[in-house]
Structure 1
């Protein structure tokens, strides 16, 4: 049984450069949302591109759920954050990201990951 007071914080560092790791992080986050768990998904490194409209639809991995659907599920029931430095390195601004995606930095990640009842996973 899921304990709803626990938050799952997922930090994803991979994108198309490591598709299985990328897909697994999105799958875990979306599955947790579906189970009623509060979820915070952080997009860092190459996964930063998935904060942009249309980018998740371009991702392909055989036998995996569409990344676009997984991202929509997390946006619908959890939070998605794009790393400040990762966004800046890629020229991504707040005006560029999908509705519901916020841009925040390491201090916000540490606060979420160390909150009472939080469980952090890094992919």
Structure 2
């Protein structure tokens, strides 16, 4: 079993089941004691902003704000630098606990020994 998990979610409201699956797997891993780093890229970048996760709705799924709260409290949540820039999102706009970082940081994380990377 990997000692840590890095999950990159590229989907948002445009692909709700794929988006929710990424958040669900990340939160389940955190609840299991696995160190998790969730990367918000593409349309999921919007969930770095206050209130945006509450706008997401998927039947029979744990509410996205609940999953995001778990990840912010016990994992790491990163917003892609380029994705943020394309959406005019700055460091002062994001939820407390969300960092903005780019590809070099992502590559560093996924190449760490014992890390499993998943992309949704």
TM-score, scaled to structure 2: 0.98
> Are positions 1:27 and 2:24 aligned together?
yes
How far apart are 1:88 and its partner, in Å? Answer: 0.1
Provide the rounded CA distance (Å) in 2 between the counterparts of 1:94 and 1:57. Answer: 20
Q: Cα RMSD between the aligned structures?
A: 0.8
Equivalent residue number for residue 12 of structure 2: 15
CA deviations over 1:50-100 (Å, ceiling 9, x no partner): 000000011000000000000000011000000000000000000000000
How far apart are 1:117 and its partner, in Å? Answer: 0.4
TM-score, scaled to structure 1: 0.96
CA deviations over 1:10-56 (Å, ceiling 9, x no partner): 00000000000000000000000000000000000000000000000
Stretches of structure 1 that go unaligned for 5 or more consecutive residues are: none
Q: How many residues align?
A: 120
Please identify runs of 4+ aligned residues in structure 1 that moved more than 6 A.
none
Stretches of structure 2 that go unaligned for 5 or more consecutive residues are: none
